Amino acid sequence: MKVAYWHNNKDIRIEEVPTPVPGPKEMLVKVISCGICGSDIVEWYRLPRAPLVQGHEIGAEVVAVGDSVNKYELGDRVFIAPKVPCMKCFYCENGHYPQCAEVKERLPGGLAEYILVPEILVERGTYLLPENITYDQSTFIEPLACVVRAQRLARVKKGQSMLVIGCGMSGLLSIKLAWTKGCKIIAADINKTKLEFALRMGADVIIGAADDIPERLVAENGKKADVVFLCASADSAVEQAWKCVDKGGVIVLFAVPGPDKKVVVPVNDFWMKEITIITSYYCGPPDIIEAIKLIESRDVVVDDLITHRLPLTDIVKGFQLVTDGRESIKVIIRPNEPKVAK
């Protein structure tokens, strides 16, 4: 089978490896669709484990099961979580599923024709896709689940104003979800195309990064934002987040600068204004279930975020599109789809 080994964003090699055979409690799935996540291109985050097969936003078909696997059968359409919490440790019991101390196995990367699903993910990390969720739509389950969790932690509710800084995939999903809750949504980005997407996804106001964002925000909203979702990692975006949150408001660090960057937090100002800063990393089983329901019910429509569908042989182009960011929102790789000759 073919797999794409990622060495860095400019060095991705397609190699032939033996197709694995599942053990008694494992199963083999054929990857139909796999999204390229924004985190896949963050080299400081991924390089320590390189070379590796990336891809954790997948829709797949079960093609072989071990003798002891009874929950799934050939032909089942599934989404598989990248990892699963134990649900028993201190962190899980307190809702911090991403920080579970017992996670030892992860899903092998989805940028491959097939994946061997380990026992723990067969047992607790595999979800049958509802009939009306396509394989392409299933690539949104994990990123939407991350947004579900972030908004739950921030206690986003009807009537609040939300500023989303950064209108890539995560920012646009944040807009879509906040729209279902009846929030007033203001979107900011440096990219005009992404701001146009934000308008179509439900933003009430868009602001270019070259504008005075705090001033425009107050002019359009009557005050600063109750919730600021930081979905961009640039230093300037972080500075804008500090300036745009209202008294008693919440800043959600959904994206962060690299570890070599120094971030200065105006603690004294925030102390007097009772500002809350929270972080949100990954998601948990309840969030995945909620994301599936939102996509199934079409409360959150995701198809309009797909800008590119490519075969595995065009994986380098896919990463270039996501890294550049100017022309793409959601790039989906279809590992078992042949390259179309031009």
Residue 112 neighbours by CB distance under 10 Å: 28
**Where exactly are the structural domains of the chain?**
2-144+283-334, 155-279
In order, the DSSP letters of 66-116 are -TT--S--TT-EEEE-S----S-SHHHHTT-GGG-TT----PPPSSBSEEE
E strands in 109-160: 114-117, 126-128
Q: What is the pLDDT along the chain (342 residues), one digit of tens a residue?
A: 999 999 999 999 999 999 999 999 999 999 999 999 999 999 988 999 999 999 999 999 999 999 999 999 999 999 999 999 999 999 999 999 999 988 888 899 999 999 999 999 999 999 999 999 999 999 999 999 999 999 999 999 999 999 999 999 999 999 999 999 999 999 999 999 999 999 999 999 999 988 999 999 999 999 999 999 999 999 899 999 999 999 999 999 999 988 888 899 999 999 999 999 999 999 999 999 999 999 999 999 999 999 999 999 999 999 999 999 988 999 999 999 887 544
Q: Are residues 159 and 283 in contact, defined by beta-carbon separation less than 8 angstroms?
A: no
What is the number of alpha carbons within 13 Å of residue 70 lying toward its C-beta? 1
Topology given in CATH for the domain delimited by 2-144+283-334: Quinone Oxidoreductase; Chain A, domain 1 (3.90.180)
Instruction: Give the β-pairing of 161-165 and 184-189.
Output: parallel
13: enclosing H helix or E strand: strand 11-16
Beta pairing class for 27-35 and 114-117 = antiparallel
pTM higher than 0.85: yes
Helix (H, G, I), strand (E, B) or coil at 259: coil
User: What residue spans of 235-280 are helical by DSSP H?
Assistant: 235-244, 267-273
274: left (phi over 0), alpha (psi -120 to 50) or beta: left
Q: Which listed CATH number (3.40.47.10, 2.40.50.140, 3.40.50.720, 3.40.605.10) goes with 155-279?
A: 3.40.50.720
